[in-house]
Amino acid sequence: ALLRVTKAPADKILGLTAKFNVDLHPNKINLTVGIYKDNNGRVTTFPSVASAQSMLDSSLDLNNDLSYLPITGSQDYQDNVLNFLYRESSNGHELLEDNRITFVQTLSGTGALAVASKLLATFVSKVVWIPNPSWANHANVFQWNGFNQIKYYTYYENGKLDIDKWLKELKDNYSSADPGWPSSIVLHACCHNPTGVDPTIEQWKQILPVIHDLGIIPIVDMAYQGMESGDLMKDAYLLRMCLEYEWPNGLFVCQSFAKNMGLYGERVGSLSVVVPPQPKELKNNIDSQLKKIVRGIYSSPPGYGSRVANLVLSNPALKQQWFTDVKGMSDRLWNIRVEMHKRLNWPSLIDFKTQHGMFYFTGLNPYQVQILQEQYGIYLTQDGRMSLSGVNSSNVDYLCESLHQVVE
């Protein structure tokens, strides 16, 4: 009966903004969700994206088509995104030439994860490994799409990355695994959310062979490409490294333009799956099932944001501007870290220099996070993650003074 519906807890990230909005604290600061804001606290449109929008607006040919897109998105978008991900930044030429990459234009990174998890849970297995800690929505997405075992691998403990423990846990768990039912593993491509700490290239060289040899299926979640180094191409290093292996059960890549093009609400992203070469019909089979999944959930993706992204990716001048825009965003985030570092000097402070990207993982406990919120109007997620984009020259002093008081 309908009476069985119980109340679900508020979303651990988005639920906080609702609370923030009604908070009357005069100095309140929202450092919860990962949305980039400028030094005036505004969410601005990137110059590259604004130019693409005005080009679309002034060209009826390009912009007057509000018809449905195909189930898996427009062909132009597919070609441009695949080129961007696999031809330019990765050693994926051959895979593209051999038609081994299946593609879905998705509702951003979350949509990509949802479609991927539906396919995996239906046909492969219902077990996924997620880093501890991870983005609060990962477990939710996998659960709602049919996974019945969410396992956590140790990622970050006592203020640092622990890959020895991570790999030991995988190996210990896999001594008895059934190769017919391979598990999946979520790997954050860069700017790990929430910690901001990623394995180095050398560490990935230790991690990937273990995952490969255990027969685990990688799901690369690439939501912050460009925000680690400021260079979109450079930040695709994990994808490049994964492509050096042949994955017998596929390689899943969930990618988003929400952050690096600032297209949050337009929901623009992709799922691509690198399919093993044999049997020959497998690629078509996967294509067909992905279509069926999309059709059963939302039918086809929205058009406008993908047209904007498509133009930025395909027009050389806009693309160059986009690279500059992303560099500017990444530089501002880095400068905030430096500014905060100058003002904070706790012994317990987690080393700023080991972290990068949108988030600063403070190491504050849930009680301290609560005090910050209730007494100072400063909102972090409960795990102590601070979205640096909400910090600016007008609030950095107040923020750092408040942090000192809470920590003392």
Active site (annotated) includes residue 166? no
Q: Shortest distance, CB of residue 188 to ligand LMR, whole angstroms?
A: 11
* 13 touches ligand LMR by CB under 6 A: yes
CA neighbor of 186 nearest in space, from 113, 239, 290: 113
Pick from 72, 78, 80, 193 the residue near ligand LMR by CB under 6 A.
Answer: 193
Half-sphere exposure of 262 (CA within 13 A, CB side): 23
* 386 touches ligand LMR by CB under 6 A: no
Pick from 16, 29, 33, 219 the residue near ligand LMR by CB under 6 A.
Answer: 33
Write the DSSP assignment of 58-101 as a string of letters.
H-HHHH---SPPPTT--HHHHHHHHIIIIIISSS-HHHHHTT-E
Q: Judged by CB, which is closer to ligand LMR: 109, or 230?
A: 109
Cα dihedral value 123, 125, 129, 134, nearest 10: 40
Active site (annotated) includes residue 259? yes
Per annotation, catalytic residue among 259, 283, 319, 322:
259
Q: Which of residues 253-282 bind ligand LMR (CB under 6 A)?
A: none
The DSSP bridge pattern shows strands 149-154 and 156-157 to be unpaired
Residue ranges of alpha helices (H) inside 216-303 are: 237-242, 282-297
Residue window 122-161: x/- pattern of binding to ligand LMR, with contact defined by CB under 6 A:
-------------x-x------------------------
Q: Shortest distance, CB of residue 13 to ligand LMR, whole angstroms?
A: 4
Q: Shortest distance, CB of residue 120 to ligand LMR, whole angstroms?
A: 21
Q: Contact 275/101 with Cβ under 8 angstroms?
A: yes
Instruction: Tell me the number of residues near ligand LMR by CB under 6 A.
Output: 6
Chain-centroid distance of CA 29 in Å reads: 23
Q: Shortest distance, CB of residue 193 to ligand LMR, whole angstroms?
A: 5
Residue 23, classed as helix, strand or coil, is: coil
Q: Which residue is nearest to ligand LMR (CB)?
A: 34
Active site (annotated) includes residue 135? yes
Structure tokens, 269: 């992203």
How buried is 35 (Cβ within 10 angstroms: 0-12 exposed, 13-18 middle, 19+ buried)?
A: middle
Q: Judged by CB, which is closer to ligand LMR: 118, or 138?
A: 138
CA neighbor of 350 nearest in space, from 383, 377, 378: 383
Q: Shortest distance, CB of residue 18 to ligand LMR, whole angstroms?
A: 13
Per annotation, catalytic residue among 221, 235, 325, 383:
221
Pick from 16, 29, 34, 250 the residue near ligand LMR by CB under 6 A.
Answer: 34
Q: Site residues (CB under 6 A) for ligand LMR?
A: 13, 33-34, 135, 137, 193
Catalytic residues: 135, 221, 259
